[in-house]
Amino acid sequence: MKIIVTQTMPKQALQRLREEAHGDEIVVVDREGKALDSGDLSDGEAFMRWWSPHAASEAVLRQAPRLKWMHTPSAGLDQVLFPALVESDVTLTNSSGVHAVPISEWVILYTLAAAKRLPELLAAQREHHWLRDLKLQELTDMTMLILGYGAIGRAVAQRALPFGMRIIAARSGSKNRDDGQQQGVEVVYGDAWRAALPTADFVVVSLPLTAQTRGMVDAAALAAMKPSAWFINIARGQIADEDALLQALQQGRIAGAGLDAFGEEPLPANHPLYSLPDSKVILTPHISWSSPLIEQRTLGLFLENLRRYKAGESLLNVVDKQRGY
């Protein structure tokens, strides 16, 4: 069979793919979806769109009428789906779970930084100030509300539970057969997460961006949070009403926010979030997913699915293109 990959795939990963895809022809396309070395895409069956521009995927789909399966290295699909792909018969798989470890660790970083007031201590260090009159907190018995109980949400819960935290995880739809597998996690469904907001010390967003989740954390949700609570977003900035969040922070209606995702990225240098005190906000450049193991995990998932595809077995991480996750 013929496998199409984008030029953005690291050389080491491409070499491993060539070694393990026994007997398969691999065609590399550039960032615009044009085949290199006079390659032919017309009979391509599988497409690995390593981190590449939107235009490359659209161009490949146009040139590969026999394409059956496309894989994306991302977990989120908001920057991957386009009308022709959604309407096609091409099976789409994503890399859900690949980034769960570093992102969940980042959430714990935010929670510890907030409880131990690390931003203020670092600011005092820069000013050569011996700051001892801070009231610090323990995570023990604090409540974390996780919006989104997928791979990342579960990994967050796994790392928060040993700190003695109470975990409430919210998911759409009805009860899933594996919802009870994490002992100590209370799972709620539909809009029930809103009733849990007044009890939460940390509200963590780990949802995909879809038509249903866009703007989900609105002014009413922020108003329901207690003044001592922190809002953490490691998913997509558009899931929260950023203006309402800014106002809640400026007016002290919530204690703070740890943000690794924004409505506009890079976050403009003149954005008012930068003007908030260190004690109220921790801003990071959408980097919580970063780890030296991501490339290995991503390729490993693709190779396992390639084996399954050839064997006629069900693929891992097949997404619903209509629902967006």
265 is catalytic: yes
Can you tell me which residue has the tokens 């700051």?
Answer: 131
Sign of the C-alpha dihedral, residues 95, 101, 107, 113? negative
Distance between alpha carbon 149 and the CA centroid of its chain, in Å?
12
User: Is 304 tagged catalytic?
Assistant: no
Helix axes 11-20, 294-311, angle to 10 degrees: 30
Neighbour count for residue 297 (Cβ, 10 Å): 17
**Which residue has tokens 């990071």?**
284
Active site residue 236: yes
Taking the C-alpha atoms of residue 100 and residue 154, their distance in angstroms, rounded to an integer, is 8
- Select which of 271, 286, 297, 308 is catalytic: 286
E strands, the chain, in order: 2-6, 25-29, 46-48, 69-71, 91-93, 143-147, 166-171, 185-189, 202-205, 230-233, 256-259, 281-283
| From 49, 71, 117, 236, active-site residue | 236
Residue among 190, 161, 164 nearest 175 (CA) = 190
* Torsion (CA) 32, 35, 41, 46 in degrees, nearest 10: -70
**Strand ranges, E, within 154-267:** 166-171, 185-189, 202-205, 230-233, 256-259
Question: Identity (one letter) of the amino acid at 75?
Answer: A
Active site residues: 236, 265, 286
